[in-house]
Protein backbone atom coordinates (compact mmCIF):
# COMPACT_ATOMS: atom_id res chain seq x y z
CA UNK A 1 0.00 0.00 0.00
CA UNK A 2 1.38 3.33 -1.06
CA UNK A 3 1.52 6.11 1.56
CA UNK A 4 -0.76 8.39 -0.49
CA UNK A 5 -3.57 5.83 -0.15
CA UNK A 6 -3.66 6.23 3.62
CA UNK A 7 -5.97 8.62 5.39
CA UNK A 8 -4.37 10.88 7.96
CA UNK A 9 -5.59 8.84 10.98
CA UNK A 10 -4.35 5.61 9.39
CA UNK A 11 -1.00 7.17 8.58
CA UNK A 12 -0.56 8.04 12.25
CA UNK A 13 -1.53 4.50 13.28
CA UNK A 14 1.11 3.11 10.92
CA UNK A 15 3.75 5.53 12.20
CA UNK A 16 2.96 4.66 15.80
CA UNK A 17 3.12 0.95 14.92
CA UNK A 18 6.53 1.42 13.31
CA UNK A 19 7.69 3.34 16.37
CA UNK A 20 6.65 0.46 18.63
CA UNK A 21 8.12 -2.18 16.31
CA UNK A 22 11.67 -0.86 16.47
CA UNK A 23 12.75 -3.30 19.17
CA UNK A 24 13.13 -0.62 21.81
CA UNK A 25 10.00 -1.71 23.69
CA UNK A 26 9.01 -5.17 24.88
CA UNK A 27 5.57 -6.38 25.98
CA UNK A 28 4.88 -4.98 29.45
CA UNK A 29 7.01 -1.86 28.94
CA UNK A 30 5.52 1.54 29.64
CA UNK A 31 5.55 3.82 26.63
CA UNK A 32 6.80 7.42 26.62
CA UNK A 33 4.48 10.14 27.82
CA UNK A 34 1.87 11.58 25.52
CA UNK A 35 3.95 14.73 25.05
CA UNK A 36 7.04 12.73 24.12
CA UNK A 37 5.10 10.62 21.61
CA UNK A 38 3.60 13.75 20.07
CA UNK A 39 7.11 15.13 19.59
CA UNK A 40 8.54 11.85 18.28
CA UNK A 41 5.76 11.40 15.73
CA UNK A 42 5.16 15.11 15.08
CA UNK A 43 1.42 14.77 15.58
CA UNK A 44 -1.22 16.56 17.60
CA UNK A 45 -2.75 15.32 20.83
CA UNK A 46 -6.16 14.36 19.39
CA UNK A 47 -4.58 12.45 16.48
CA UNK A 48 -2.24 10.59 18.81
CA UNK A 49 -5.06 9.67 21.16
CA UNK A 50 -7.12 8.35 18.25
CA UNK A 51 -4.20 6.18 17.11
CA UNK A 52 -3.69 4.85 20.63
CA UNK A 53 -7.39 4.02 20.90
CA UNK A 54 -7.13 2.05 17.67
CA UNK A 55 -4.13 0.06 18.89
CA UNK A 56 -5.81 -0.48 22.25
CA UNK A 57 -8.88 -1.92 20.51
CA UNK A 58 -6.54 -4.35 18.74
CA UNK A 59 -4.95 -5.43 22.01
CA UNK A 60 -1.55 -3.96 21.14
CA UNK A 61 -1.40 -1.34 23.89
CA UNK A 62 -3.27 -0.80 27.15
CA UNK A 63 -4.07 2.59 28.65
CA UNK A 64 -4.01 2.54 32.44
CA UNK A 65 -5.54 5.77 33.61
CA UNK A 66 -3.36 7.58 36.09
CA UNK A 67 -0.39 5.39 35.20
CA UNK A 68 0.32 5.51 31.48
CA UNK A 69 0.21 3.46 28.29
CA UNK A 70 1.80 0.00 28.13
CA UNK A 71 2.78 -2.25 25.24
CA UNK A 72 0.87 -5.54 25.46
CA UNK A 73 2.28 -7.30 22.40
CA UNK A 74 4.55 -6.57 19.49
CA UNK A 75 2.48 -5.15 16.62
CA UNK A 76 2.68 -6.57 13.12
CA UNK A 77 2.61 -4.02 10.33
CA UNK A 78 0.65 -6.49 8.19
CA UNK A 79 -2.29 -6.38 10.60
CA UNK A 80 -2.41 -2.57 10.40
CA UNK A 81 -2.15 -2.00 6.66
CA UNK A 82 -5.53 -3.03 5.28
CA UNK A 83 -6.71 -2.13 1.78
CA UNK A 84 -8.40 1.26 1.81
CA UNK A 85 -10.47 1.36 -1.36
CA UNK A 86 -14.01 0.42 -0.37
CA UNK A 87 -14.29 -2.51 -2.76
CA UNK A 88 -10.79 -3.74 -2.09
CA UNK A 89 -11.16 -3.49 1.69
CA UNK A 90 -14.50 -5.25 1.67
CA UNK A 91 -13.27 -8.09 -0.52
CA UNK A 92 -10.13 -8.51 1.58
CA UNK A 93 -12.16 -8.80 4.77
CA UNK A 94 -14.69 -11.16 3.21
CA UNK A 95 -11.90 -13.48 2.12
CA UNK A 96 -10.45 -13.34 5.62
CA UNK A 97 -13.88 -14.27 6.99
CA UNK A 98 -13.65 -17.62 5.21
CA UNK A 99 -10.55 -18.38 7.28
CA UNK A 100 -12.10 -17.02 10.49
CA UNK A 101 -15.15 -19.24 10.08
CA UNK A 102 -13.02 -22.36 9.85
CA UNK A 103 -10.65 -21.48 12.70
CA UNK A 104 -12.94 -19.73 15.17
CA UNK A 105 -15.83 -22.20 14.95
CA UNK A 106 -13.44 -25.06 15.64
CA UNK A 107 -11.77 -23.15 18.49
CA UNK A 108 -15.17 -22.57 20.10
CA UNK A 109 -16.08 -26.25 19.76
CA UNK A 110 -12.79 -27.27 21.35
CA UNK A 111 -13.32 -24.74 24.16
CA UNK A 112 -16.68 -26.36 24.90
CA UNK A 113 -14.92 -29.72 25.16
CA UNK A 114 -11.65 -28.75 26.82
CA UNK A 115 -12.14 -25.60 28.92
CA UNK A 116 -11.19 -25.85 32.57
CA UNK A 117 -13.42 -24.22 35.16
CA UNK A 118 -11.02 -21.29 35.58
CA UNK A 119 -11.05 -20.74 31.82
CA UNK A 120 -14.86 -20.76 31.74
CA UNK A 121 -14.79 -18.20 34.55
CA UNK A 122 -12.46 -15.98 32.50
CA UNK A 123 -14.72 -16.20 29.45
CA UNK A 124 -17.67 -15.20 31.61
CA UNK A 125 -15.73 -12.32 33.20
CA UNK A 126 -14.69 -10.94 29.80
CA UNK A 127 -18.28 -11.28 28.58
CA UNK A 128 -19.62 -9.31 31.54
CA UNK A 129 -16.96 -6.63 31.07
CA UNK A 130 -17.94 -6.38 27.41
CA UNK A 131 -21.63 -6.11 28.24
CA UNK A 132 -21.01 -3.41 30.83
CA UNK A 133 -18.84 -1.36 28.47
CA UNK A 134 -21.34 -1.78 25.65
CA UNK A 135 -24.24 -0.56 27.81
CA UNK A 136 -22.19 2.46 28.86
CA UNK A 137 -20.48 3.41 25.60
CA UNK A 138 -22.48 1.72 22.83
CA UNK A 139 -19.40 -0.16 21.63
CA UNK A 140 -16.83 -2.46 23.22
CA UNK A 141 -14.16 -3.39 20.70
CA UNK A 142 -11.35 -3.96 23.18
CA UNK A 143 -13.55 -6.04 25.47
CA UNK A 144 -14.84 -8.02 22.48
CA UNK A 145 -11.26 -8.94 21.62
CA UNK A 146 -10.62 -10.05 25.20
CA UNK A 147 -13.75 -12.24 25.14
CA UNK A 148 -12.65 -14.05 22.01
CA UNK A 149 -9.06 -14.38 23.19
CA UNK A 150 -10.40 -16.11 26.31
CA UNK A 151 -12.21 -18.62 24.08
CA UNK A 152 -9.08 -19.32 22.02
CA UNK A 153 -7.15 -19.82 25.23
CA UNK A 154 -9.81 -22.26 26.48
CA UNK A 155 -9.32 -24.36 23.34
CA UNK A 156 -5.96 -25.21 24.94
CA UNK A 157 -4.01 -24.95 21.70
CA UNK A 158 -1.85 -21.80 21.53
CA UNK A 159 -1.76 -21.88 17.73
CA UNK A 160 -5.38 -20.74 17.56
CA UNK A 161 -4.53 -17.45 19.26
CA UNK A 162 -1.46 -16.99 17.05
CA UNK A 163 -3.28 -17.52 13.76
CA UNK A 164 -6.63 -15.91 14.55
CA UNK A 165 -5.27 -12.80 16.27
CA UNK A 166 -3.38 -11.68 13.16
CA UNK A 167 -6.52 -12.04 11.03
CA UNK A 168 -8.78 -10.34 13.58
CA UNK A 169 -6.45 -7.34 13.68
CA UNK A 170 -7.72 -6.21 10.27
CA UNK A 171 -11.32 -6.37 11.50
CA UNK A 172 -10.50 -4.49 14.70
CA UNK A 173 -9.02 -1.65 12.68
CA UNK A 174 -11.96 -1.67 10.28
CA UNK A 175 -14.61 -1.58 13.00
CA UNK A 176 -12.77 0.93 15.19
CA UNK A 177 -12.36 3.34 12.29
CA UNK A 178 -15.52 2.88 10.28
CA UNK A 179 -18.29 0.60 11.44
CA UNK A 180 -18.59 1.11 15.20
CA UNK A 181 -20.15 4.52 14.86
CA UNK A 182 -23.18 6.36 16.12
CA UNK A 183 -25.41 4.85 13.44
CA UNK A 184 -25.26 1.52 15.24
CA UNK A 185 -23.52 -0.52 12.58
CA UNK A 186 -20.94 -2.95 13.82
CA UNK A 187 -23.07 -3.95 16.81
CA UNK A 188 -25.59 -6.35 15.26
CA UNK A 189 -23.80 -9.42 16.61
CA UNK A 190 -23.55 -8.20 20.18
CA UNK A 191 -26.36 -10.22 21.74
CA UNK A 192 -25.04 -13.51 20.36
CA UNK A 193 -21.89 -13.31 22.49
CA UNK A 194 -23.77 -14.38 25.62
CA UNK A 195 -25.36 -17.25 23.70
CA UNK A 196 -21.90 -18.37 22.59
CA UNK A 197 -20.66 -18.32 26.17
CA UNK A 198 -23.69 -20.31 27.30
CA UNK A 199 -23.04 -22.96 24.64
CA UNK A 200 -19.43 -23.30 25.77
CA UNK A 201 -20.41 -23.39 29.45
CA UNK A 202 -22.99 -26.10 28.65
CA UNK A 203 -20.18 -28.19 27.12
CA UNK A 204 -22.00 -28.28 23.79
CA UNK A 205 -19.37 -28.20 21.00
CA UNK A 206 -21.86 -28.22 18.12
CA UNK A 207 -23.90 -25.36 19.58
CA UNK A 208 -20.70 -23.39 20.18
CA UNK A 209 -19.58 -24.00 16.60
CA UNK A 210 -22.93 -22.93 15.15
CA UNK A 211 -23.18 -19.86 17.38
CA UNK A 212 -19.71 -18.75 16.25
CA UNK A 213 -20.76 -19.10 12.62
CA UNK A 214 -23.88 -17.03 13.38
CA UNK A 215 -21.72 -14.31 14.94
CA UNK A 216 -19.49 -14.23 11.88
CA UNK A 217 -22.54 -14.00 9.60
CA UNK A 218 -23.37 -10.76 11.41
CA UNK A 219 -19.80 -9.56 10.89
CA UNK A 220 -20.15 -10.28 7.18
CA UNK A 221 -23.39 -8.28 7.05
CA UNK A 222 -21.64 -5.31 8.67
CA UNK A 223 -18.67 -5.52 6.30
CA UNK A 224 -20.96 -5.72 3.26
CA UNK A 225 -22.97 -2.70 4.47
CA UNK A 226 -19.86 -0.49 4.66
CA UNK A 227 -20.32 2.59 2.53
CA UNK A 228 -24.02 1.98 1.95
CA UNK A 229 -26.73 4.32 3.09
If asked whether residues 65 and 166 sit together in one domain, one would say: no
Instruction: Convert the pLDDT of each residue in 9-45 to its tens digit.
Output: 778 888 898 888 878 899 999 999 999 999 999 999 9
Yes or no: say if 100 and 168 are a contact pair by the CB < 8 Å rule: yes
Q: Which domain range does residue 87 map to? A: 82-225
Is 70 exceeded by the pLDDT of residue 63?
A: yes
Number of domains in the chain: 2
Average pLDDT for residues 195-220, to the nearest whole number? 96
Instruction: Convert the pLDDT of each residue in 103-153 to its tens digit.
Output: 999 999 999 999 999 999 999 999 999 999 888 888 787 888 889 999 999
Q: What are phi and psi of 40, to 5 degrees?
A: -65, -35
Helix (H, G, I), strand (E, B) or coil at 28: coil
Nearest-10 crossing angle of helices 141-154, 158-174: 160
More confident residue, 196 or 77: 196
If asked whether residues 149 and 119 sit together in one domain, one would say: yes
Q: What is the pLDDT of residue 204?
A: 98
CATH code of 152's domain: 1.20.120.530
Nearest-10 crossing angle of helices 205-225, 192-201: 160
If asked whether residues 13 and 119 sit together in one domain, one would say: no
Look over the chain and give the mean of its residue pLDDT values, rounded to a whole number. Answer: 82
If asked whether residues 100 and 20 sit together in one domain, one would say: no
If asked whether residues 217 and 136 sit together in one domain, one would say: yes
Final residue of a structural domain among 49, 75, 101? 75
H/E element holding 153? Answer: helix 141-154
Rounded Cα distance, 34 and 47, in Å: 11
Confidence grade of residue 214 (pLDDT, cut at 50, 70, 90): very high
If asked whether residues 88 and 71 sit together in one domain, one would say: no
Final residue of a structural domain among 23, 53, 75? 75
Yes or no: say if 101 and 214 are a contact pair by the CB < 8 Å rule: no
If asked whether residues 175 and 70 sit together in one domain, one would say: no
If asked whether residues 58 and 92 sit together in one domain, one would say: no
DSSP character at residue 33: P
If asked whether residues 43 and 99 sit together in one domain, one would say: no
Helix (H, G, I), strand (E, B) or coil at 188: coil
Amino acid sequence: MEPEQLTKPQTIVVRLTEFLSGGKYAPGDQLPTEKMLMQALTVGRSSLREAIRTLEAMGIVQVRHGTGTFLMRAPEKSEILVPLAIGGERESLLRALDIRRALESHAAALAASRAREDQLARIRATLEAMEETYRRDGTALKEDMQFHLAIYEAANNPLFETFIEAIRGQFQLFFSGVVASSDGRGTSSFDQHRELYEAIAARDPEAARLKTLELLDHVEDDVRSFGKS
